[in-house]
């Protein structure tokens, strides 16, 4: 097996790490939470970082009319299937495909990941803005519009008494490594191809 194909093989397998490790984490810090509230986002689940964190996030958020974090969302069904399918495709092309396919897989993964991130953003936006009209506390922005409580997609942001942090976790690194690996496999394949041509 060519070196490039071995790299592609590993690259195709790496996203499976998403089944083992969380993709993302949202952390909420406030003075009265010396241990911050935090939620891990897996490709098929939301989970507490410390026991009962999601319950306590819901309790906090209901004051401003935010919905409860659902037990399940449709993405939890779609994402795992997507990862499995793309891994299978990756494996097939690692064994059978030409190095050019490595690039196509890379592009496919970039598109799908961006779509995933966009979906995440939409969910976050809805979570932060679709507020109960009977909310206990209503806040407005300086311009008079209703204040939203959307956590950042990436990075840190102050929301009322909380500082929210949103950062990728180990699962995301596996995915990124897999995607990067496929590009590396493409270049490696390209190099071998050129060598073969020049010979």
From residue 18 to residue 57, what is the string marking binding to other proteins with x (rule CB under 8 A)?
-----------------x---------------xx--xx-
63 is a site residue for other proteins (CB under 8 A): yes
The nearest distance, CB 167 to other proteins, in angstroms, is 24
Two structure tokens written together for 108: 């496919």
User: Using CB under 8 A, which residues numbered 119 to 138 contact other proteins?
Assistant: 136-137
CA distance 108 to 179: 9
> Least distance to other proteins from the beta carbon of 161, Å?
10
In angstroms, what is the minimal distance from the CB of 149 to other proteins? 16
C-beta atoms surrounding 29 within 10 Å: 17
Determine the Cα–Cα distance for residues 39 and 71; give it in Å rounded to an integer: 12
Distance, in Å, from the CA atom of 176 to the CA atom of 14, rounded to the nearest integer, reads 9
Q: Is the Cβ–Cβ distance between 4 and 106 less than 8 Å?
A: no
Give the C-alpha separation, 86 to 182, whole Å.
12
User: Which of positions 71-130 make contact with other proteins (CB under 8 A)?
Assistant: none
Task: Pick between residue 63 and residue 167 the one whose CB is nearest to other proteins.
Answer: 63
Residues that bind other proteins (CB under 8 A): 35, 51-52, 55-56, 59, 63, 136-137
């Amino acid at each position: 097996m060519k070196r490039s194909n071995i790299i592609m093989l590993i690259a195709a397998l790496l996203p499976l790490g998403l089944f083992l490790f969380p993709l993302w984490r949202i952390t909420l810090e406030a003075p009265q939470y010396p241990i911050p509230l935090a939620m891990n986002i897996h490709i098929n689940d939301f989970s507490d970082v410390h026991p009962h964190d999601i319950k306590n996030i819901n309790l906090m958020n209901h004051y401003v009319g935010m919905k409860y974090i659902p037990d399940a969302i449709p993405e939890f069904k779609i994402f795992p299937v997507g990862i499995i399918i793309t891994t299978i495709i990756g494996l097939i092309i690692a064994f059978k495909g030409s190095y050019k396919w490595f690039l196509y897989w890379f592009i496919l993964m970039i598109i799908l990941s961006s779509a995933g991130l966009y979906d995440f953003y939409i969910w976050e936006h809805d979570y932060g803005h679709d507020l109960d009209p009977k909310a206990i506390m209503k806040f407005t922005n300086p311009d008079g519009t209703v204040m939203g409580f959307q956590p950042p997609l990436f990075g840190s942001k102050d929301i009322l008494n909380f500082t929210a942090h949103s950062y990728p976790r180990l699962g995301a690194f596996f995915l990124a490594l897999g995607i990067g690996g496929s590009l590396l496999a493409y270049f490696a394949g390209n190099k071998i191809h050129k060598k073969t041509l020049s010979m």
